[in-house]
Amino acid sequence: MKPLAKLLEAALFSSAHPVALSDLKAMVNDPEVKPDDVTEALNELRHHYDDDEHGVELIEVAGGWQILTRPEYTETIERAQLAARPQRLSAAALETLAIIAYRQPIGRAEIEEIRGVGCGPILKSLHERELIEVVGRGEGMGRPLLYGTTPSFLEQFALRHLGELPRADELAVALRDPNASPAQTNGQTEQIRELADVATR
């Protein structure tokens, strides 16, 4: 590998979170190295892992780049307790998170109207886990807080951007009718559980 690719590999290996292209360029601190050069070096590094069939891969996620264990080895490593596994989200928390992801920016009252139940503690938990954040205030009475997802949400769900979320008709729980029957609701809960598997892998 070229020296620039090796430098980027070292930087990404030492980071626990995705690193933005602009941060990698700033780290290089060489005016002769252009953003395209950094991108080319990242692609070189990615092909190196792929072509030599390494146990890790370089992926673009949450607005940055990160070296991660290949999915086929994740379960074995977690079973051996060599890596921390995020605590699973409850079905209610996942449902709330999906609503925020698809409807953001959205206020608590609208979330509760969609779900049909209060969600104060769930919003607090999602905020503490850095999956959601306050992104503004609404125009209604009291100017309620509006919530949106965070870069950590993208990272945990292995998304480069929100445009990679499943289509709304594939995740109907985010847009469901609050008056849906129990049978319909149970089916939609299963869809959100699939999202949970991605979030905690």
Q: Write the pLDDT tens digit of every residue in 22-69.
A: 899 888 888 888 889 999 999 999 999 999 889 999 998 888 999 988
For 91-199, which CATH class?
mainly alpha
Q: Which one is predicted more confidently, 157 or 201?
A: 157
Percent with pLDDT over 90 in the chain: 22
Q: What is the mean pLDDT of residues 117-124?
A: 89
List C-alpha distances in Å: 173 to 15, 49, 80, 113, 157.
35, 38, 34, 13, 17
Architecture of the CATH domain 3-79: Orthogonal Bundle (1.10)
- Alpha-carbon distance 189 to 185, whole Å? 6
Cβ burial 10-24 (10 Å sphere, 16+ → b, else e): ebbeeeeebbeeeeb
Give residue limits of the domains in the chain.
Answer: 3-79, 91-199
